[in-house]
Amino acid sequence: MKYVYLDASSGVSGDMTLGALLDLGVDAALFKERMAGLRLPVEIAVRRVRRGGFAALKVDVGIKAGDQTERTFADVERVILKSRFAPAV
């Protein structure tokens, strides 16, 4: 098993975390395909950026116009349980 240690003592943004995890070797097209399977009203864009001499993946997750639905943790859990992901996910 492989582990990732994330020191977020000064905070970390979701897009930065997602980009870093994808940059470990996950195919961006496969990620977007699997996320589309959740049938959420979002658009996901993945691109390579360079900032201050560092290269990284930038992931933008945008909510499609008109959907401002608030969700609780229980709502998120139901979305995941209804998905085609393995139970381990």
- Given a cut of 80, whether residue 89 has pLDDT beyond it is no
Residue 6, Cα to own-chain centre: how many angstroms?
A: 16
CB distance 32 to 41 below 8 Å: no
| pLDDT tens digits, one per residue of 32-87 | 999 998 888 899 999 999 989 989 899 999 988 777 778 899 998 898 888 888 87
pTM: 0.74
Separation CA 26–CA 76 (nearest Å): 23
